[in-house]
Structure 1
Amino acid sequence: MATDVVEAPSTPSQPPTHFGQTRHFYLAVDRLNFKMETLVDLLGMAGHRPSMPMVVCCSTRDELDAVCFAVSNLSYISLSCLYSDLAEAERALILEKFRQAMMRWNQNANDQSKDDSKIEKEEQKSHLIVVTDACLPLLAAGESPITARVLINYELPSKKETYMRRMATCLATDGIVINMVVGGEVVTLKSIEESSNLVIAEMPIHIFEMF
């Protein structure tokens, strides 16, 4: 995985927010042209956990299209993309299928005796939604949050409000946020950390063993 050492964001002096059970990490990418390769490596790590429900957030449609293209051929990922010109019925179907995948994940997590070899092949895939900020679930309009186990910010938002909205609409309260950071974006990351009263640590190598 193409990474580099980036100075860790400072630890805030105040207690965490109501997202305190959520764990926040950053993954430093050495160069922009390594970013997609690093994402695929990251998803490969998650692919070893059957049925892992994940969301990748992008800021633009171009980046969403690029991520979906790169991930589409990964055999261990069941991929869905939410974009602005998606039909309402198809959008609802994607969200419902993901919620069902999340329910299966919770059931499997609660059944420690379950043999992974007995899980249907399609259900063993990690379930991934790629979405732009413009297409996040609309809680005010009655849509339910996605509540994934892992939220990957492929593009770091520039504002804390966007960061917090991604969490509120895409992540379970005890989930993990992974922020992909390139070069000068560490300044933006520190600003989000301080203004949101969060602790964002460097991502450990075996992050998916936390589940």
Structure 2
Amino acid sequence: MDSIEAPSPPFQSPSRSSQQLHFYLAVDRPQFKMETVVELLGVLGRRQWLPIVVCCSSRDELDAVCSSLSTLPYISLAALYSDVAERERSMVLEKFRQATTNWNQKLNSAVEEGLEESETGKDEKKSHLVVVTDVCLPLLSSGESCLSARVLINYELPTKKETYTRRITTCLASGGIVINMVVGGEVTTLKSLEESSSVVIAEMPINISEIL
């Protein structure tokens, strides 16, 4: 994980609030991008029940991400793509929303420590991750709910403000964290998104898992 010229000052860790946080994670070369996201999720994915969404711009990238992440044993992985059956889509969305409920209960100390395995199975305790393309984001206008993920990873940085905003609106919970994967040639795009979206995109802190 290498550094690029920061569009914003270094991040100062706040207390947990409803404010969404936007970060970038610099990758020196495109060929290191997959390795970097696997490394990142190797850290974040160990948090029980953590709901994560990874957004891709294309089906090819979605397939590549799913293939690379499928070996991580502590993540329950699902994908939403254009030709997924409606019933399967509904099941993926429902399971993910249950994960967000479990995560919120955990944050609110409503989940007791030391739950018996019979009460909460191993699969339910895993972090839950959905990989999705832009064309398959939840349709809020059709009655689908926001995924309300705690973490949104933009594996492919959108070039338009509208796409960036739609990903956040349909995927991220209040107080959630956005992590933008950025290679060297995308610095200008990142700065443009920051300015047009009126958000501060700071360099991702090393202790990212501590501010979830």
TM-score scaled by structure 2?
A: 0.91
**2:55: which partner in 1?**
57
**2:170: which partner in 1?**
169
Report the alpha carbon displacement of residue 208 of structure 1 after superposing the two structures with TM. 1.4
**1:100: which partner in 2?**
98
Q: Could you tell me which runs of 5 or more consecutive residues in structure 1 were left unpaired when the two chains were aligned.
A: 12-19
Distance 1:179 1:39 in 2: 10
User: Can you list the C-alpha shifts for 1:102-136, whole angstroms capped at 9, x where unaligned?
Assistant: 10111111117732675532122110000000100
1:70 lines up with 2:68 in the alignment: yes
Divergent runs of 4+, >4 A: 116-119
Q: CA, structure 1 residues 142+117, in 2 after alignment: closer, same or farther (shift >3 Å)?
A: closer
Report the alpha carbon displacement of residue 48 of structure 1 after superposing the two structures with TM. 2.5
Report the alpha carbon displacement of residue 92 of structure 1 after superposing the two structures with TM. 0.7
Q: Which letter does structure 1 place at the counterpart of 2:171?
A: C
Report the alpha carbon displacement of residue 206 of structure 1 after superposing the two structures with TM. 1.1
Q: Which letter does structure 1 place at the counterpart of 2:52?
A: M
- Indicate conservation of the 8 Å contact 1:50/1:116, yes or no: no
Q: Which letter does structure 2 place at the counterpart of 1:206?
A: N
Distance 1:45 1:106 in 2: 20
1:123 lines up with 2:113 in the alignment: no
- Secondary structure in structure 2 of the residue aligned to 1:55: strand
Distance 1:169 1:184 in 2: 27
Select between 30-39 and 117-126 the one with higher mean Cα deviation: 117-126
Q: How many residues align?
A: 201
- Indicate conservation of the 8 Å contact 1:77/1:126, yes or no: yes
Distance 1:205 1:116 in 2: 29
**1:16: which partner in 2?**
none
TM-score scaled by structure 1?
A: 0.91
**1:195: which partner in 2?**
196
- Secondary structure in structure 1 of the residue aligned to 2:144: coil
Q: Which letter does structure 1 place at the counterpart of 2:211?
A: M
Aligned pairs for 1:3-152 (under 5 A) are 3-10=1-8, 21-111=19-109, 114-115=112-113, 118=116, 120-152=121-153
Distance 2:176 2:93 in 1: 18
- Indicate conservation of the 8 Å contact 1:26/1:181, yes or no: yes
- Percent of residue pairs identical: 66
User: Can you list the C-alpha shifts for 1:62-81, whole angstroms capped at 9, x where unaligned?
Assistant: 00000011011110110000
Q: Could you tell me which runs of 5 or more consecutive residues in structure 2 were left unpaired when the two chains were aligned.
A: 10-17
**2:181: which partner in 1?**
180
Distance 1:73 1:200 in 2: 31
**2:209: which partner in 1?**
208
Report the alpha carbon displacement of residue 152 of structure 1 after superposing the two structures with TM. 0.1
Distance 2:43 2:75 in 1: 11
